[in-house]
Amino acid sequence: MSTPEERPNPNPDDALARARAAREQMAAALDEDQELEADEPVGWQPIWKRPRKPKSKAAKKAELRKQRKRLQEAAKRRLTARNLRRPRSRQNRIGNAAARRDARALSRVRHSNAWLW
């Protein structure tokens, strides 16, 4: 470990002066990365750094048409999937209704005090 005599404590004013002197160099180095020539191809950039170009009315309408069609097709898929999962014949529906009626009657009896008589 170094002793304090070998490494004297740096003066904060000196460090501040060195930082101020290097400030212009650092700003120039940061700016040169962000400046692009007009004819230079732009590589991948995050979306918040890309230049905004407004869409034309036709492009907006086409995008909305595609979105509407996509949503309608999804709704059709959901509808057919819901109907495919429950194949119910007429007889099956009648049977289920009768079973429900029986269960309802039984639960009424069970929750009443009829069995005490």
The DSSP code sequence of 35-49 is ---SSSPP----GGG
CB 98 within 8 Å of CB 90: no
Report d(CA 73, CA 67) in Å as an integer: 10
Whether 8 has a pLDDT exceeding 80, the answer reads no
- Give this prediction's pTM: 0.33
Of residues 57 and 19, more confidence is placed in: 57
| DSSP 8-class letter at 115 | G
Report d(CA 94, CA 104) in Å as an integer: 15
CB 109 within 8 Å of CB 115: yes
